Structure 1
Amino acid sequence: MAEQGGDLAGKRILVPESRDLDLFAGMMEQHGAETIRCPMVKILDLDDPAPARDWLERLLTEGFDDIVLLTGEGLRRLMTVARAMEREADVVAAIGRARVFVRGPKPVKALREIGCSPFKSAPTPTTDGVIAMLSEQELDGHRVGIQLYPDNPNEPLLEAVRARGGMPVAVTPYRYANDSETGAVQTAIRDMAAGRIDFVAFTASPQVRRLHEVAEACGLADEFRQGFARTRIAAVGPVVAEAVEAAGGTVAVSPESTFHMKPLVNAIRRLLTDGAGAR
């Protein structure tokens, strides 16, 4: 329940998060917000784990000189497959022998969960940031295991590795499924267009795409454009901000450096406290 008198008091915030929905919404409710929970995307295991299993087999038999992790969820799903293979300890040891490059803080956390640490983190948690990081490394002749995420084959990243003489071996170890009923998403779009929502707080780019897809499929394209124009948008980091801009929106606030949910909540609070977002 929202607390009275917090610096988010009186604000209605749409929360499209799925995995940590209650945690994220609770963070804002602690500061007085009224949250509208509307989970957009669910993360699921692969229907067929063979691609992830094959990637792990290559890691174990050939070894990777370098590993690139784009998401923490990707590593966790790979470890789920490793446990099913009864090779968890072997996989952890093989990861520990490689130079591990990460896109952002979430894969760092996932690495620490298995007792490993990154060799280097990207200067910004984007594909361009990862490419810039790898451009400073010797990759000639290296086998480079690359963990991708669904709906993005990321050919620019793979090509950047090839251009430096590396041999990319890519895997996408999980999939997305629509989580929220279409009716709930439609209601959220109409509420945004009508000015009944003060903020929408995006934590992943598929949430933005799902909102846009439902609008297009359900004849709510005009309402979507109106809602994106009048509702302040908070994005957890630059990848999400890019998705918002691609959908025609403008990000009102985003954390400056640490791209987690708590810094996002604090960024929203600062925006309201200093009056920069007043309407």
Structure 2
Amino acid sequence: MTDVQKPNGQPGAPSPIVSLPNMRDLGGWRGSDGRAVRPGLLYRTADFAGISADDAKLFAALGVRTVYDLRSKAERAAAPDLVFDGVDDIALDVLADSETAIPASLGGVFADPTLAVELNKKLKDGTAAAAIAGTYRDMITLPSANTAYARFFAGLAGVDRAPVAFHCTAGKDRTGWAAASLLTVLGVSRDDVFADYLLTNDRLVPALKPIFDKFGSEGGDPDLLLPILGVRKEYLASAFEEVDSRYGSIEGYLTDGLGLDASVPDTLRASFLE
């Protein structure tokens, strides 16, 4: 086993843990007043279902003290988080109030890729992509999402201990909004926020080659899986559009949408910017 790579402040750096290909440190992106996000404090990732025993030790060596699990109860039951000594694991079911959200069903596709064949018709007529974009809007409006993200931001603002990691199943949708909204609060440009978000297509999608291959062997077109297993700019744009139309700004989202104190954005900047 090799030592874990220490955070180097390079924005979008590859995952330091091979079996968590969609994991990345949010450090290095330029935020308010040109200050960079501090490395080694904020990690986004997929769940730990595929992590190796050696890599679990590497994750522990990062010093994470709080893990936010944004998955549903069913997802957590199917693939419980690893238990790390001295780490608080906080369950935040973002989509509890949604019965049809595709992101909450990805674990089934990962476990049995043949289930993806059943999505073939929806994929071909575009309804799957539209449904995912709708889920991003739901992440701004659902009571369960507001409760979850309010707790997430309150935790980052001092309720919980840093460094932190946050994840859903694939680490791209619920996690994607958590990362995008946090980076935006920290003053990272919209272009860089999208750049971090779209890295999932470079990191996670290649690691899912067996799922694409299985789908192809069952008669499906592997390219049709990309809207579900990857990310699209318009998905995240849908969430930002919902924030802008309802609250006018990311600060308005935190205060009026999530019910947080007006001091939270400044607290986050003080804590996570160099």
- Which structure is higher in helix share? 2
From the CA coordinates, give the structure whose radius of gyration is larger. Answer: 1
TM-score (norm 1): 0.32
Please give the TM-score of this superposition, normalised by the length of structure 2.
Answer: 0.32
Higher relative contact order (CA 8 A, sep 6+): 2
